[in-house]
Chains A and B, each alone.
Chain A
Amino acid sequence: MKKNYYLMSDGMLKRRENTVYFVNKDGKKPIPINKIYSIYAYGSLTFSSQAIHLLAKEGIPVHFFNYYGYYDGSFYPREKLLSGDLIINQAQHYLDHEKRIFIAKKFVEGAAKNMEKVLKYYSLENKIRSILPDLDGCNIITEVMNVEGRIRADYYQKMNEILPENFNFDKRVKRPPENMINALISFGNSMVYSTALSEIYNTQLNPTISYLHEPSERRFSLALDLSEIFKPILVDRLIFYLVNKRMLSEDDFEKDLNYCLLNDKGRKIFIKEYDERLKKTIKHRELNRKVSYKRLIRLESYKLIKHLLGSKEYKPFVMWW
């Protein structure tokens, strides 16, 4: 149905005939306004205010990434779905320490269980199951973060066994990533983050009030919370797929003294496959119908809303296959 558009080349977004045109060196390309779900801008994009008016009217968020593929920010159109009631509940769950830590733990639990599933697919022994119970004893957020950190350390170490030797890495390094896998993880995570933000935009949730991450980070931190659960499902599995099938090689990276990044060609391959994954459907157990991965993120937001309003306790999404 509605699609994500990824603007990889430099160009201009214009409004004409009540729809948007993407103009670049190859010419003008009209994009049907009713077919745009969100726009991801990787190249340098010029943007007329007329275009912004139209995108705002249609409620289409635009996510910007800088030259290195890092998430810069979003054009987040005026909220159409508002609920004062929910915002109050959202804030209340943040302020009440017990309630906040409950949700924070759920996010970590969901992420950990999904990581475990990913490793299980490659039948790798892991310590996640034994670390996870430590979560029960946590009373403050930093302790929860600590448990998450330990799980991740174990997880990333195991990833080496799935990947070919030239792709191995010692530890997760960000800003800038040092090696190819770190580059892929960083790039993928920023994509999931913006996908989650697009989904949150389509619900009444306020994206700035979060539970696991501190809301004071000047970011839409609720999207960070939600993406935790989906990173292993969407990004990590994609990385194994691309690397092990040799769809990505060392030529698709740009290496310098202290950093490593995907180049244009690599980015295109990654984004294409990522988008395919978002569209892929699974048969949902509870709903008993087919649901795309993108939709799963939305359903997760709905579950959170139900929890915040007190109608059903939140249970994180865990892959069941």
Chain B
Amino acid sequence: MYVIIVYDIKVERVNKVKGFLRKHLYWIQNSVFEGEVTKSELEEIKTGLLDIINKNEDSVIIYRFRTDDAFTRKVLGVEKAPIDGIL
């Protein structure tokens, strides 16, 4: 499935969350990651995030799509980090 994760985290933990998500997903712009994951990988991401965040202060939203065909994506302005396999 395809997920989009957006977050709003207190400054002291925000880099931790970013670093953690970088292992699994593509950084799109500030506080937004997306990418294709398996069910188990999503569970891994969820438990990983819960370890880092403070449930009383931080907020993470996960949008799930069946596939990446289930939505369209349009960028206005600058595409900050294009997802590309040829570098």
Contacts and interface: CB of A to CB of B under 8 A. Distances in A.
Interface stretch (B4-12, B21-29, B50-58): B21-29
Contact of B87 (A9, A17, A18, A19): A9
B23 to A, nearest CB: 5
B81 A29 contact: yes
B85 A32 contact: no
A275 B81 CA distance: 20
A32 B35 contact: yes
A17 B26 contact: no
A3 B27 contact: no
Contacts of B35: 32, 35
A17 B19 contact: yes
A259 interface: no
User: Which of under 10, 10 to 19, 20 to 34, or 35 or more describes the interface residues of A?
Assistant: 20 to 34
A194 to B, nearest CB: 15
Interface in B6-46: 18-20, 22-27, 35-36, 38, 41
A289 to B, nearest CB: 16
B86 interface: yes
Contact of A6 (B22, B26, B85): B85
Nearest to A27: B81
Contacts of A146: none
A275 B41 CA distance: 24
Given A32-B26, A32-B35, A4 B85 contact: yes
User: Which of under 10, 10 to 19, 20 to 34, or 35 or more describes the interface residues of B?
Assistant: 10 to 19
Residue from the set B18, B38, B87 with the largest chain A CB neighbour count within 10 Å: B87
Contacts of B85: 3-6, 275
Nearest to A8: B86
A22 interface: yes
Residue from the set A11, A30, A268, A272 with the largest chain B CB neighbour count within 10 Å: A30
Given A1-B36, A1-B38, A32 B22 contact: yes
A291 interface: no
B86 to A, nearest CB: 5
A33 interface: yes
B87 A29 contact: yes
A18 B23 contact: yes
Interface of B: 18-20, 22-27, 35-36, 38, 41, 81, 85-87
Given A19-B22, A32-B22, A35-B24, 12 more contacts: A4-B85, A6-B87, A9-B87, A18-B19, A19-B19, A24-B87, A30-B27, A32-B23, A32-B25, A32-B26, A34-B41, A275-B86
